[in-house]
Amino acid sequence: MKHRATINDVAAAAGVSVSTVSKAVNGRYGVSSQTVDRVLAVVVELGYESSLIASSMRSRTTGVIGVLVADFEPFSAEILKGVGQALRHSRHDLLAYSGSHGSADGWERRSLSRLSGTLIDGAIMVTPTVVDAGTEVPVVAIDPHTGPADLPTVESDSFGGALQATRHLIELGHTRIGFIAGRPDLRSSIARDAGYRRALTEAGLAVDPTLVGSGSYRADAVREAALEMLARADRPSAIFAANDITAIEIMRVGAELGLDVPGDLSIIGFDDIPEGSKSTPALSTVRQPMQMLGAEAARLLLALMQGETPDPIHLTLPTRLVPRATTAPPRTSAAGIR
């Protein structure tokens, strides 16, 4: 493990001062071209690269955009692809950071604090909950929390998507339709809940509170809620899950209970993550344009960073029903309605 060359090493080897090296490397004026040449030759020879950290401490601008996530799971990975695509030709480096491991929640503020003001010039936060606007750098939130929408946001039409999903089940003939909710602090989760209820209501179906479980997008909570719901004699014949991860976990629980999907139980998710289309049977879902969420967030952020104030500061992208193999008419068609 050899020590990497610092600006001091270069300066010493080239026989100049560190500030001269700094100027030469960064193409500042006020250095003779022959000095520049000599310095750059040494730079190549020593394999010197300026430390991102050290320079960011002084210069207040780094050309790096940060994407802050709780975790690298399928949803945030798709977002990341979209951001990467949008930034590919923008001479900005991209830094994705996941620092959830500290405290249970509040990762957003923590990560942002630790990186902002120094390392990154702007940030995109994925499913953040507690973020007070008024940080040092511009921030755009994707699929944000409930509460005052102080900062620019990009999300998809969760209400409309939930409506489509639930209507799809109703049209198949289901009347006992369960819902396993997501993180109650996310605006999108609440909208999906609302869409579910609206669809039932408009079809003249009552909302049975015992058919609504809370999953919080966490496997253990989902499992518990699903078990409770499916072990009952009057179990639902279909479940709408607040996202695909949740849906896949429910499929697992259903299998353990010996239920046939979609024969005994229809399941529909939300997101359309890659993992869903590869499950067996392939998961029916509502597609939200995740990569586009990322790309739009990047565009917004770029504008913000250039001091512009983009006009629509809250973007909502459309969702689309993607029926696959986990939804079907209920087997014992006591359906009746419609």
Partner DNA sequence: CTGTTAGCGCCTTCAC
Partner DNA sequence: GTGAAGGCGCTAACAG
Residues in the site for DNA, rule: CB under 7 A? 6-8, 15-20, 22-23, 25-26, 28-32, 34-35, 48, 50-51, 54-55, 57-59, 117-118
Nearer to DNA, 58 or 101 (CB): 58
Q: Are 166 and 177 in contact (CB under 8 A)?
A: yes
C-alpha 225/C-alpha 142 separation (Å) is: 27
- Min. distance of Cβ 66 from DNA in angstroms? 17
C-alpha 275/C-alpha 253 separation (Å) is: 17
Q: Read off the amino acid at residue 113.
A: S
Q: Are 99 and 107 in contact (CB under 8 A)?
A: yes
274 binds, among DNA, a copy of itself, none (CB under 5 to 8 A by kind): a copy of itself
Segment contacting a copy of itself (CB under 8 A): 80-88, 206-214, 240-248, 250-258?
A: 80-88
Residues in contact with a copy of itself, counted by CB under 8 A, come to a total of 52
| Per-residue tokens: 158 | 């969760």
> Considering the rule CB under 8 A, would residue 99 count as an interface residue with a copy of itself?
yes
Strand 238-241 and strand 177-181: the pairing is parallel
Sign of CA dihedral 230, 234, 238, 242: negative
Q: Could you say which of 7, 10, 42, 80 contacts a copy of itself (CB under 8 A)?
A: 80
Nearer to a copy of itself, 56 or 237 (CB): 56
Of 169, 170, 168, 163, nearest to 337 by C-alpha is 170
72 binds, among DNA, a copy of itself, none (CB under 5 to 8 A by kind): a copy of itself
Which x/- pattern, by CB under 8 A, does the window 134-173 give for a copy of itself?
Answer: xxxx------------------------------------
H helix and E strand count, the chain: 12, 12
Note the Cα 240 to chain centre separation in Å. Answer: 21
22 binds, among a copy of itself, DNA, none (CB under 5 to 8 A by kind): DNA
Report the b/e string of 123-135 with b at 16+ CB within 10 A.
Answer: bbbbbbbebeeee
> Considering the rule CB under 8 A, would residue 264 count as an interface residue with a copy of itself?
no
- Min. distance of Cβ 295 from a copy of itself in angstroms? 12
Which run of H or E residues covers position 253?
helix 244-256
Q: Using CB under 8 A, list all residues that contact a copy of itself.
A: 1-4, 47-54, 56-57, 71-74, 77-78, 80-81, 83-84, 88, 90-99, 101, 109-110, 113-119, 134-137, 274, 277-278
